[in-house]
Amino acid sequence: MMATQSSIDMLQIAAAAADSIGGEDLVALDVSEPLPLVDVFLLVTGRSERNVAAIADKIEEKLVEAGHKRLRREGRAEARWILLDFGDIVAHVFHQEEREFYSLERLWKDCPVVPIHLPATRPAD
């Protein structure tokens, strides 16, 4: 099984939102084979707790604006690893230390990477 087009569309919205607010090292994994209820994991790193919270808030805002419903959110109070579950896509927004410690890329290394297409940024005038 592969990630659905709907999940990939959600991924692009979430990735663009994360990128727009300083999210770094964006990686998307197609986890549809081992996890029948989820298609894609989006992994994002923030530079501080405040940045992690802002990235998660922006992802949630943009996905909700696009008509998707958040099923669950965890970790907002500590803002070290915030998980946003939108059903077909789960966004993991990490502080750098947590991302390195939990190393989800290593745990899910057998899952294919899903390409992320970020909008081109306009050069500063």
Mean pLDDT (whole number) for 33-48: 94
Give DSSP secondary structure letters for 14-47.
Answer: HHHHHHHTT-EEEEEEE-TTT-TT--EEEEEEES
**What superfamily would CATH give domain 5-107?**
Beta Polymerase, domain 2 (3.30.460.10)
pLDDT tens per residue, range 69-93: 999 999 989 999 999 999 999 999 9
List helix spans (H) across 1-113.
5-20, 49-65, 96-102, 104-107
What is the residue extent of each domain of the chain?
5-107
Tell me what pLDDT residue 66 has.
97
Tell me what pLDDT residue 122 has.
47
Task: Place 1 in a pLDDT band, splitting at 50, 70 and 90.
Answer: low
Residue 110, token pair as written in the block: 């057998």
**pTM confidence score:** 0.92
Give the residue from 39, 42, 53 showing the smallest Cα distance to 12: 42
Tell me what pLDDT residue 123 has.
47
Mean of all residue pLDDT scores within the chain: 93
